[in-house]
Structure 1
Amino acid sequence: MGKPRRRQAGEGGISEYETKAGRRFLIKFTVQREDGTRRVVLKRGFLSRRDAAAALRAEIRKAEVGEWVEPSKQRLDAYLAEWIKGQRLSPSTLSSYRKNIRLHIDPYLGEQLVARLTGSAVDAWMRKLEASGRADGQGGLSARTVRYVFTILRSALSDAVSQGRLAVNPTDRSTAPTPSEARPPEMKAWTAPELARFLGWAEAYDPDLAIGWRLLATTGMRRGEALALRWRDVDLDAARLAVRRSVGVVKNKGAGEELVEGPTKTGQARVVDLDAGTVAALRRYRTVRGLLTLELVRDSALVLSELDGAHRHPERFSRRFAGQLLRARRALGEEQLPVIRLHDLRHTHATLLLADGVPVKVVSERLGHASATITLTVYQHVHPGMGRQAANRFAALLEG
Structure 2
Amino acid sequence: MAWVERRGNKWRVRYWKPDGRAGSIPGSFETEPDARAHADQLNAATPEPTEQTHHPTSPTPRPTAPTPTNPTAPHTVTVAEWAEIWWQTLDVGDNTEAYYRSLLTRHILPRWGTTPIDQITPADVQVWLNRLRATYATATITGLRKLFAMVMADAVDNQLLATNPVRPRRRGRGRIEPRREATWADEYQVLTIAHRILRLASRNQCLLVITAAYTGMRWGELAGLHRDNLDFTHGRIHITADAGALHEVNGHLTLGHPKTHASVRTITLPPFLTQLLATDLAASTRPFVFTTLRGKHLRRSGFQRRLWAPAVCGGRYRGETWDPVQQGLTFHGLRHSHKTWLIEDGVPQAAQARRLGHIMEGKIDDIYSHVTASIDARLIAGLETRWHRALERYHRNLGPQEPPSITS
Normalised-by-shorter TM-score class: 0.5 to 0.7
**Counterparts of 1:1-400 in structure 2 under 5 Å?**
32-34=20-22, 36-42=62-68, 73-131=76-134, 140-172=135-167, 186-205=181-200, 206-244=202-240, 245-251=244-250, 257-268=251-262, 269-288=264-283, 290=284, 294=285, 296=286, 301-319=287-305, 320-327=307-314, 331=320, 333-334=322-323, 337-371=326-360
Deviations 1:214-242 (A, max 9, x none): 11011000111111110011011211101
Name the TM-score, length of structure 1 as normaliser. Answer: 0.66
| Alpha-carbon distance in 2 for matches of 1:190, 1:278 | 18
Kindly provide the amino acid, as one letter, of the partner of residue 218 in structure 2.
R
| Alpha-carbon distance in 1 for matches of 2:119, 2:296 | 49
Please tell me the root mean square deviation across aligned C-alpha atoms, in Å: 3.1
Task: Select the structure that is richer in helix.
Answer: 1
Kindly provide the amino acid, as one letter, of the partner of residue 276 in structure 1.
P
| Alpha-carbon distance in 2 for matches of 1:263, 1:111 | 36
| Alpha-carbon distance in 2 for matches of 1:329, 1:178 | 47
| Alpha-carbon distance in 1 for matches of 2:354, 2:188 | 25
| Alpha-carbon distance in 2 for matches of 1:73, 1:236 | 61
Deviation at 1:151, TM superposition (A): 1.1
Contact map agreement 1:230 1:302 (CA 8 A) in 2 = yes
Deviation at 1:91, TM superposition (A): 1.2
Contact map agreement 1:150 1:176 (CA 8 A) in 2 = no
Describe the shift of the 1:32–1:77 C-alpha distance in structure 2 as closer, same or farther (beyond 3 A).
closer
| Alpha-carbon distance in 1 for matches of 2:74, 2:169 | 20
Is the radius of gyration larger for structure 1 or structure 2?
Answer: 1
Describe the shift of the 1:372–1:191 C-alpha distance in structure 2 as closer, same or farther (beyond 3 A).
farther
The alignment partner of 1:303 has SS state of coil
Deviation at 1:172, TM superposition (A): 3.3
Deviation at 1:163, TM superposition (A): 1.1
Deviation at 1:248, TM superposition (A): 2.2
Kindly provide the amino acid, as one letter, of the partner of residue 265 in structure 1.
K
Deviation at 1:177, TM superposition (A): 11
The alignment partner of 2:261 has SS state of coil
Structure 1 gap segments, 5+ residues each: 1-29, 45-69, 132-139, 252-256, 374-400
Deviation at 1:336, TM superposition (A): 5.5
Contact map agreement 2:190 2:210 (CA 8 A) in 1 = no
Describe the shift of the 1:261–1:346 C-alpha distance in structure 2 as closer, same or farther (beyond 3 A).
same
| Alpha-carbon distance in 2 for matches of 1:283, 1:341 | 27
Deviations 1:316-367 (A, max 9, x none): 2233312332348975752665551111111111111211222222222111
The alignment partner of 1:249 has SS state of strand
Contact map agreement 1:216 1:345 (CA 8 A) in 2 = yes
Larger mean Cα displacement after TM superposition, 152-161 or 77-86: 77-86
Contact map agreement 2:190 2:209 (CA 8 A) in 1 = no
Aligned pairs, number: 297
Deviation at 1:31, TM superposition (A): 5.1
Query: Percent identical across equivalent pairs?
Result: 22
Structure 2 gap segments, 5+ residues each: 1-17, 23-60, 363-408
Kindly provide the amino acid, as one letter, of the partner of residue 258 in structure 2.
T
| Alpha-carbon distance in 2 for matches of 1:178, 1:365 | 38
